[in-house]
Amino acid sequence: MRDGPRNGRRAVGRVMVLLAVMALVAAACGDDDDDSAAAPATTAAPAAPAVEEPEAEEPADEPMEEAPEAAAPAAEEPCVRAAFLMVRDIHDSGWNEAHGNGAKYLAEQMPCAEVTILTDVIDDQTSEGVMRDLAEDGYDLIFGTSFGYLEFMSRVAPEYPDVVFEHATGYLTDENFSNYSGSLYEATYLAGLVAGSLTETNKLGYVGPFTTPDVLRDFNAWVVGAREVSPDVEVQMIWVNTWFDPAQETQAAQTLLDNGADVLFYGTSGGAVGQAADAAGALWVAGNGLARGFAPESFLTGPSYEWGVYYVEAAHAVRDGTWDNIPYWGSMADGFINLADFGPAVPSDVAEMVNARRAEIEAGNFDVFVGPIVDHEGNLQVPDGEPASLEHIWGVDYVLDGIEGTLPN
């Protein structure tokens, strides 16, 4: 573990949320490299609450001896300093808010920790400078919460062997660099059971961001669930190649609705797809259960990561000197994966069916992906009767056979 902070900042037992002002990136590093970035300025500490002064007393006749000035108490040193890089703010009702909640959970469960959240850190080469500044500033543990940080974090980590770097949903490791994710597909499968049970047109629609393995496996699991209860259901997909663009997402959702879909699902962040579905009188499954508030009456459910489960584990390991670079893979069984409470449109019999299957998954008695699994090009990916291996699930690069739409290269 590295020594304490170099600039005297302290935030023990609380969370600092900082805005990474990218206009200041080049200036604060002291050189002209394109990949340099400054550590963002901290927000001002809140003022102490006002205290009512007691009424003044008459002075004594004899002079009072002047009391010696009390020494200021020493600042408590954090037991671990953890920083989180986010591409957007933590109020998007989606991916970033879920990570923000996880960071706050870490601060609650580990009061001796200093927890810093940096928002609006673009996941391009400029993020390398932000990571370097954090490492130079004495942070012990740096989390990159966007898939786009992967390449840049893998470059920076070897430069700071005493700092632990963790990347969400990635696949690279190094001596001080690892990744963490989980079987969100367990929850999206359950959400697919709901969608397949409630479609009246027998047509479902999906708005996808990027074709990363985690996105593809979650979408495939949703289709598996829908087909289990509605074998002839039609599924159409549209890919928007962005994590967040409400205009593009709305346009894609409207196309799916115009083609007859009456239940939508998406992998982007926010709630634009849900709002489009609601406006058309359709139902929707959120990409993250936190998005319920965008259109609560037509909301069915949504999967979510409980990131805080791992953040606490990782921070304790770094503090105790027991951290290793073995990737973490969480599940519904250990509380890392969750499914949001059902919306008002989900009838009790469907809820009971889904909850029963959830109990099987949590007990380890059900596999979502079991062969035969055939991809969209007609290739047999998993033989008949065999469950897909975890290695296969991690590296999924296809969608299931029979899904309408074009998969980006």
How confident is the model at residue 98, as a pLDDT? 95
User: Please, what is the average pLDDT of the chain?
Assistant: 86
- β-sheet bridge partners, residue 12: 114
User: Span 10-29+78-182+305-333: which CATH code?
Assistant: 3.40.50.2300
Query: Which amino acid appears at position 361 of this protein?
Result: I
Crossing angle of helices 348-362/184-198, nearest 10°?
A: 160
Going by their DSSP bridges, the two strands 263-266 and 234-239 should be labelled as unpaired
Residue 31's pLDDT band (boundaries 50, 70, 90)?
Answer: very low
Q: Is the predicted pLDDT of residue 57 greater than 60, yes or no?
A: no
Q: What is the mean pLDDT of residues 324-330?
A: 97
State how far the alpha carbon of 30 is from the alpha carbons of 121, 138, 157, 365, in Å. Answer: 19, 18, 21, 57
Q: Is the predicted pLDDT of residue 230 greater than 60, yes or no?
A: yes
Percentage with pLDDT > 70 across the chain = 82
Condensed to tens digits (0 to 9), the pLDDT of residues 184-206 reads 999 999 999 999 999 999 999 99
Helix (H) or strand (E) holding 224: helix 213-229
Q: Is the predicted pLDDT of residue 28 greater than 80, yes or no?
A: no
State how far the alpha carbon of 109 is from the alpha carbons of 17, 102, 193, 229, 323, in Å. Answer: 18, 10, 35, 41, 18
Residue-range domain boundaries for the chain: 10-29+78-182+305-333, 184-302+340-394
Helix (H) or strand (E) holding 128: helix 127-136
How confident is the model at residue 260, as a pLDDT? 99
Cα angle for residues 210, 403, 333 (degrees, 5° grid): 65
List, in sequence order, every beta strand (DSSP E) within 283-401: 283-285, 303-305, 328-330, 337-339, 373-374, 380-382
Going by C-beta distance under 8 Å and a sequence separation of 6 or more, which residues neighbour residue 16? Answer: 9, 42, 43, 114, 115, 116, 117
CA 104 to the chain's CA centroid: 13
CATH superfamily of 184-302+340-394: Response regulator (3.40.50.2300)
Q: Is the predicted pLDDT of residue 32 greater than 90, yes or no?
A: no
Q: Is the predicted pLDDT of residue 179 greater than 90, yes or no?
A: yes
Residue 207's pLDDT band (boundaries 50, 70, 90)?
Answer: very high
State the CB neighbour count (10 A cutoff) for residue 13. Answer: 15
Residue 408 in tokens? 């980006």
- β-sheet bridge partners, residue 80: 113
Domains 10-29+78-182+305-333 and 184-302+340-394 share a fold: yes
Residue 15's pLDDT band (boundaries 50, 70, 90)?
Answer: low
How confident is the model at residue 38, as a pLDDT? 34
What's 16's DSSP letter?
A: E
- β-sheet bridge partners, residue 165: 142, 177
Task: Tell me whether the omega of the peptide bond preceding residue 372 falls within 30 degrees of 0, making it cis.
Answer: yes
Lowest mean pLDDT among 49-53, 75-79, 232-236: 49-53
Query: Which amino acid appears at position 8 of this protein?
Result: G
Condensed to tens digits (0 to 9), the pLDDT of residues 231-279 reads 999 999 999 999 999 999 999 999 999 999 999 999 998 899 999 999 9
